[in-house]
Amino acid sequence: MGILEAVLLTIATAATPLLIAAMGELVTERSGVLNLGVEGMMIMGAVTGFAVASSTGSAWLGMAAAIIAGMAFSLLFGFLTLTLVTNQVATGLALTLLGLGFSGMLGEGFVGRPGVKLGNIDIPVLSDLPVVGKLVFGQDPIFYISILLTAGVAWFLFYSRAGLTLRSVGDSHRSAHALGIKVIRIRYLAVMFGGACSGLAGAHLSLVYVPQWVEGMTAGRGWIALALVVFASWRPWRVLAGAYLFGAVSIGQLHAQALGFGIPSQLLSSLPYLATIVVLVLISRNRRLTVMNTPASLGQPFVPDR
């Protein structure tokens, strides 16, 4: 029972940053903007969150700083792609490269420093229940934020007028503009939301998952989050399921190494990324499902005066 509880807890911890980053990217893509800079925004959130938490002794201030850092990086992406109308794919890739390099420079002085861990919430009696106690009632605050975020995004997109407006912009920005909808403003807000989520996901890595700063500690999680959005067909609850599936794969390979299976550790470490490729290949075979749920204006530039 103790082993099962430990495995489930580690899966939830591994899935949380994937879920948060993917949820932010889902909202961004629903507005018609493709931001491939999730990895860069995550790593900037991780280094900023750790630096502020280490300097002030407050993990909560670190978390807030990480969100601001993610939003700032997303605004850079928004200015380039929405105002200057640069190519979204190229700009997103450049944002990731910039984030990886800039974070290494900013975090150089924090390597090896003891971190400030964001503590778990402990609810008396409920947290002591077997298995479900720690899993449901004894997690870190960002875990609960990720679940609330999923429910909030699902409600916003499909049950609110603002969500309908955002989806209309993603499906046909020209029609939305003809109806008087401020397309660029909505896309800026969506991009900023995605940046805030990526920054928070990065904060989870450096304040909860591994409370320390290590250069490149996102380790491709931003790319997995991008794949999760496609895997989930741009549906929030499917993103939740996909995040925990990939979290289980990530933790499974660690336990397989610990048990000493006769499989090279390099192959086991690559399992989450191999699973990403396999899932994307399987999804691409169902062309009808992909086309039906993909925002029609995804990745297309929009200039109001043309």
Per-residue pLDDT at 306: 53
pLDDT for the residue numbered 5 = 76
191 lies in some domain: yes
Q: Which amino acid is at 22?
A: A
pLDDT of residue 4: 75
Cα gap 171→167, rounded to integer Å: 6
> Which pLDDT score, from 0 to 100, does residue 127 have?
76
Provide the pLDDT for residue 267.
Answer: 67
d(CA 138, CA 26): 28
Tell me the C-alpha distance between 48 and 207, whole Å: 11
Nearest to 250 by CA among 43, 15, 90: 15
Gap between the Cα atoms of 189 and 66, Å rounded? 18
Structural domain harbouring 165: 2-113+125-293
Q: What is the DSSP string of 110-153?
A: GTTPPP---PPP--TTGGGSTTHHHHHHS--HHHHHHHHHHHHH
Of 134, 140, 135, the closest CA to residue 121 belongs to 140
Q: Looking at residue 10, which CATH number applies to its domain?
A: 1.10.3470
User: Is residue 119 domain-resident?
Assistant: no
Supply the pLDDT for residue 259. Answer: 62
Phi-psi map region of 82: left, alpha, beta (phi>0 left; psi -120 to 50 alpha) = alpha
**Within a domain: residue 220?**
yes
In a domain, residue 301? The reply is: no
What's the pLDDT score for residue 186? 96
Q: Is 136 exposed, middle or buried (0-12, 13-18, 19+ CB in 10 A)?
A: middle
Q: Is residue 306 domain-resident?
A: no
Residue 304 lies in a domain: no
Q: Is 270 part of a structural domain of the chain? A: yes
Report the number of distinct structural domains present in the chain.
1
Q: Nearest 5 degrees, angle CA 300-CA 301-CA 303?
A: 140
Q: What is the pLDDT of residue 289?
A: 63
> Is 304:184 a contact under the CB 8 Å cutoff?
yes
pLDDT computed for residue 80 by the predictor = 96
Average pLDDT across each block of 10 residues of the chain; the chain has 306 residues. List them in order.
Answer: 75 93 97 96 96 94 97 96 95 96 92 87 77 81 95 96 95 92 96 97 94 91 91 90 86 67 65 73 68 84 79
Q: Is residue 264 part of a domain?
A: yes
